[in-house]
Chains A and B, each alone.
Chain A
Amino acid sequence: MFKFLKRLRGEQASAVQSQALEQEVAVETTLDNLAPDLTAREDSPVEPPKSTVSVQPILADQAAAETEGQDHKAPDQAARPIQLEAVELPKRSLGSGVRSLFGEAVNIDELEDILIMADFGVEVAEEITAQVKKDANKQGASSDAELRLLLKDLLTERLNREDSALNLDDGKLPYVFLVVGVNGAGKTTTIGKLARWLKDGDWEVVLGAADTYRAAAVDQLATWADRAESPIIRPAKEGADPAAVAYQTVEMAINTGADIAIIDTAGRLQSKKDLMDELGKIRRAVEKQAKISEVLLVIDATNGQNAMSQARAFTDVADVTGIVMTKLDGTAKGGILYALQKELDLPIKLVGVGEQINDFAFFSPEEFAKGLVAKK
């Protein structure tokens, strides 16, 4: 559904490369033509995935460190360009992750209570209910199916956003993701799943274990790194400076020519000022070498209205760019995500729907809304 830019690797890469070297001028013109299409992410039917190739200049030190997919390596190729390809990630979906709001036929008078029980919050629940009632009146909808459809459309429309794709399309490698959140939200698991997902799509991933605080957090990430077959940067010792780990992670990503570096941080409650300040420090450490593409705030779907307070606080210090909702596979409906998008203008980008490594997907308003109104 979304298209991203990553480094082109393997035979294709070398093939394209020699071609590129021969027809450098030609390719460069192609780049100019392609650029708008690639940034348009989704609907760019003109260019099928995996075949789109563009060329960008590369820094000398980056090129020197490149190892993979470069069969004919020679010192005179220092100025060799990074080849990018536009790809989609393997398909994953919410599946039956979201449970229906309705145990029985829809009763519009109970809608408000039902939404409150799904953690939408009082205000939102009142507002949505009023809107559904209004629409139902206008359209003369009264049957169970009609009301479900009405609610589904309303939610889908309101949850849809332009910016819900991961920021993996500007071609400035390596992308750096910072993953933040309160304790126990599911940061480490999220990173493991995301890494595996990217890996399945043939991305080179580097993980950074900057949670130097919690006992064995590093080992937990290391296990995920194993499963995702990705290298991990560990702190020199327990309690080491997380900013240093973050720095090294980015460094390694640059040196090995990886596509993306994902940095795990320690869980912190948003009310802890000093810990929140530490996030700023990690940010700055990363930004010495690379741009931060994404700061993902991980929120536990079982959390209630406090999620708003979490999102506010983390946005203040860490410039959150997107939200990951985890544990949506439980009985919790995660209704708070509605308010998070509306009130804080933060897109929900990913959802976690189970403990298995593949239980992970892009957030799709349509799927989510469908799940909520589904007939049991």
Chain B
Amino acid sequence: MFGNLSDRLSDTFKNLRGKGRLSASDIDATLRDIRRALLEADVALEVVKDFIGAIRERALGDEVSKALNPAQQVVQIVNEELTQILGGESKQLRFAKSPPTVIMLAGLQGSGKTTLAGKLAKWLKEQNQTPLLVAADLQRPNAVTQLEVLGERTGVSVFAPEPGNGAGDPIEVAKKAIAHAKKAQFSVVIVDTAGRLGVDEEMMKQAIGIRDAVDPDEILFVVDSMLGQDAVNVAKAFKEGVGVTGVVLTKLDGDSRGGAALSVANVTGAPILFSSTGEGLDAFETFHPDRMAGRILDMGDVVSLIEQAQKSFDEEESKKLAEKILSDSFTLQDFLEQMQQLRKMGNMKSILGMMPGAGKMKQQLEDFDESEIGRTEAIIFSMTPVERNMPKVLNGSRRQRIAKGSGTTVTEVNQLVNRFEQAAKVMKTMSKGGMPNIPGTNPVQMGGSVGGGYIGGRKKDSKKKGSKSGNPAKRAAENKGLGYLATPETKPGSAFGLEK
């Protein structure tokens, strides 16, 4: 099988290196790769065709031939166009001027509507809304019960006058629900409907009936991100049938590339509002088109990573760290603090998952043991201040003592010290302004890149388009040549114990 797009493109680009200009055939070769990558990511063929056409036009234009690095420019264009189709900036849910705001959910069977209803209700509740869940899926066995359980878990009221399992009229339920919501002053009504196929005319009529009964402010089309080529037909059917004002992508926590997002956004013209990323009721977030673009192209999610890092990295501390690195006094103590800061950013798995090229390491990420960080901490805590500040003094007997004190083995202590030394080296390179170019020190670079993007004073640039590191695609492409994170032949996993 083929690797991801970044890999394939970097292959193509290898041949282009040193070329000041791209010929039309160079561009076509690149576009062929992109086409294939998009198809393998399950973007619908007709969408791919349009898309490639648009890219070709731009790529043949001035902006590429004049660019310093034409190949990367192509990727940048692809990324921009992708983000564009996916909806540019993140969009917000529309609320009615006078409550209740009515949100109707529609989609295929098994796309995750009921689960999403629960998540949405919880999210709205956290925004100080008073949501009401309406059980209008009277088709699937026990969909009503499922919604009731979700209501219970989230502490949200559920309007379920009918037991379901084929009995009752969902249109009636929907009507009554609105009356009930007005009377009981709920601010948002979420109407869960039965899953239906786009070609099922009768069911589509029913959906229209429900829509007309509740006059929704948003009709959210719930889409399984694993959807294949059929996404186009389904999206068309729902758009023409019940109508779509917004899209929700579910099951994004899987390993699908989510090309369906592109197809659906393109066909419906409706913005993707939310993405659902797991089975927990909190696994729900506002959709970020730029991040999705990176995912479809498998270029990681550098922007998200930077944002998250910026949130949790204290600027002051980072400055201090930068100075230390420059003055060569980066110590194990700093290493520990840096790691603790990293941990503040959240679950290591999700952070690492955002890195470019991480597609390859998905399995390793899932295997990644968070407690590894705990062990590393224990080892450093078992050192004396002198040892932490001057790792050079760590001789055999000291190491033995540390191993004993931290309940680990000397080997583990040795590994940590090695990783630290590598990390220090990488950071030094980075802080001097260059990207690290040491293959095999991958997750160290992760620490490095997060801190480094900052330390190197490029923080402000990081969001600016066209800057060295701002654009995820471009940045990823740049990093690509540097064995970023997932050089296959080298073992990923030094500093934070990814190794298994």
Contact = CB atoms under 8 A, between A and B. Distances in A.
Contact of A220 (B40, B142, B253, B363): B142
Contact of B110 (A119, A185, A307): A185
A235 B387 CA distance: 54
A339 B108 CA distance: 24
Interface in A166-185: 182-185
A272 interface: yes
B131 interface: no
Contacts of A270: 254-255
A219 B228 contact: no
Nearest to B197: A330
B305 to A, nearest CB: 19
A81 interface: no
B224 A302 contact: yes
A331 B150 CA distance: 31
Contact of A117 (B148, B227, B229): B229
A173 B36 CA distance: 48
**Which of A192, A213, A273 is packed against the most chain B CB atoms within 10 Å?**
A273
A186 B108 CA distance: 12
Given A182-B226, A215-B146, A330-B108, A309 B255 contact: yes
A269 B254 CA distance: 5
B230 A331 contact: yes
B366 A271 contact: yes
**Residue from B39, B41, B254 having most chain A Cβ neighbours under 10 A:** B254
A332 interface: yes
A52 interface: no
B438 interface: no
18 contacts: A117-B46, A119-B229, A122-B36, A182-B251, A184-B112, A216-B146, A216-B149, A269-B253, A304-B260, A306-B226, A309-B255, A309-B256, A327-B109, A331-B234, A332-B229, A332-B230, A333-B230, A355-B109
B362 A271 contact: yes
The 8 closest A-B pairs by CB, nearest first: A304-B228, A184-B110, A304-B42, A223-B141, A216-B146, A215-B149, A332-B230, A269-B254
Nearest to B263: A304
Contact of B45 (A113, A272, A307, A336): A113
Nearest to B44: A117
Interface of A: 113, 116-119, 121-122, 182-186, 188, 192, 213-217, 219-220, 222-224, 269-274, 300, 302-307, 309-310, 327, 329-333, 336, 355
Contact of A330 (B150, B198, B251, B257): B198
A269 B40 CA distance: 19
B119 to A, nearest CB: 12
A272 B224 CA distance: 17
A184 B255 contact: no
A122 B8 CA distance: 16
Given A184-B224, A222-B142, 15 more contacts: A117-B46, A183-B110, A215-B149, A224-B141, A269-B255, A273-B366, A300-B110, A300-B226, A302-B224, A303-B226, A303-B227, A304-B42, A304-B228, A305-B40, A332-B228
Nearest to B146: A216
A215 B153 contact: yes
Nearest to B164: A223
A188 B257 CA distance: 26
B38 to A, nearest CB: 10
B237 interface: yes
Contact of A223 (B142, B260, B367): B142
Interface in B337-377: 362-363, 366-367
Residue among A122, A224, A274, A302 with max Cβ neighbours from chain B (10 Å)? A302
A91 to B, nearest CB: 25
Contacts of A118: 229
A182 B143 CA distance: 18
Contacts of A306: 42, 226, 228, 254-257
A272 B199 CA distance: 33
Contacts of A217: 146
Contacts of B231: 302, 304
A194 to B, nearest CB: 15
B462 interface: no
Contacts of A186: 109-110
B108 A219 contact: no
Contacts of B260: 304
B229 A215 contact: no
Contacts of A309: 255-256
Contacts of A300: 110, 224, 226
B164 to A, nearest CB: 9
A143 B366 CA distance: 53
